[in-house]
Chains A and B, each alone.
Chain A
Amino acid sequence: MSTQPIKLGKQRKSLFKDKVMQLLPDGGNLNACLTCGACASGCPATGLAGMDPRKFLRMASMGLDEEILKTEWVWNCTLCWRCLYVCPMKIDIPQLVYHARKSWPRDERPKGIRASCDMALKHETCSAMGASEEDFRFVVEDVLEEARANQPGWENLEAPINKSGAMYFLNQNSREPVTEPDEMVPLWKILHTVGADWTYATKGWGAENYCMFLADDENWERIVRIKAKAVDDLGCKYWVNTE
């Protein structure tokens, strides 16, 4: 952690924090800090990039907008909410971090997160690894056929796709169908054993949503709407997210 004192210039008005406060219920309590440090002492990201949650909030309060809007710490923080959970004043530091992420020009946000978001926008599957509807169907059917043929007692195992009116709509993290498809089989066996009425879908099956992590609100919403429509179009009652 940095031991250098932070030098304040002339009295500066905190524009960034004020802006975020207008967006949050009760202003996210962002002016209620007791400076106790419970947030920082239990934050795994404390010390990274010379920052911690308490310092981040205090700097925002002191109007050091330039510094907090350029620190890469907002990408070290995982928005896990532990700081908010332990805070006696319930200060919404994670929302402050999220809005700091959002203030970065989109093309300067971390390339890996941005690429995963952009990839998910290419197909209606919402797969961040770019798997298409055809890819998904092929892999699921191929793995199912192999399990039925090679595993005694599982000749009737099912992995329904686009089954209208199923009770549960199950999505799938792209990592399984793309890189380790055999890992899907245990899940199917559990669903089969309990007699669940479930289905995959060719549209909206990707469980992940990197546009949310990218703080790209427009595309975050777009992806959620594609997925929700896929659930509604099949008339499923529950949407089960495996992510």
Chain B
Amino acid sequence: MRKTYGDAYAEDLRFVARRVVGEENFIDMTPNRSNNYCCGGGGGALQAGYTEGRRHFGKLKTDQILATGAAYCIAPCHNCHSQIHDLSEHFKGGWHTVHLWTLICLSLGCLGENERAYLGPDLAEVGL
């Protein structure tokens, strides 16, 4: 958002996220939009080999996610998904990291049995 289309596109994604999870289940992190912090998965970091540094970088994102108390973190970008998934495991954050497509199909009632790798036990059977 910060590097390309700006906050208007962040609003579009929020619209989608709110519709698929329900307004009462949507929790924004702080800071957000263009003031948000990078998760630390981009710029080649996932492949650069400085694993300890990458996780230290991601501690800020970890704390942001934990402060929301949310059970799921939506990561629409692939690098972010890999990094945030790793952060949850490494720092024992306990949240699940999901692609947006997973939640869209879950809300449409068409998420197949083999398409639920990133859902927690609370949602794993929903709509099957």
Q: Which of A's residues lie within 8 Å of B, judged by CB?
A: 42, 44-45, 47-49, 72, 75-82, 85-86, 110-113, 115-116, 147, 150-151, 153-154, 173, 175, 180, 182-183, 185-187, 189-190, 193, 207-208, 210, 213-214, 242-243
Contact = CB atoms under 8 A, between A and B. Distances in A.
Interface in B52-78: 53-54, 56-61, 77-78
A185 B59 CA distance: 32
Nearest to B37: A44
Given A185-B112, A187-B101, A189-B105, A78 B47 contact: no
A243 B41 contact: no
Contacts of A81: 2-3
Contacts of B43: 77-80, 213
For the residues of A in contact with B, the DSSP-based class is helix
Nearest to A211: B44
B2 A186 contact: no
A13 to B, nearest CB: 30
A85 B49 contact: no
B50 A72 contact: yes
17 contacts: A44-B59, A78-B42, A78-B43, A80-B43, A81-B3, A82-B2, A85-B35, A150-B112, A185-B112, A186-B101, A186-B104, A186-B112, A207-B78, A210-B44, A213-B43, A242-B78, A243-B79
A173 B112 contact: no
Interface in B2-30: 2-3
- The listed residue with most B CB atoms (<10 A of its CB), out of A49, A76, A173, A187, is A76
Pairs of residues from A and B, 5 with the lowest C-beta to C-beta distance, nearest first: A213-B44, A78-B43, A80-B38, A112-B47, A186-B101
B124 interface: no
A196 B47 CA distance: 34
Nearest to B78: A173
A211 B93 CA distance: 33
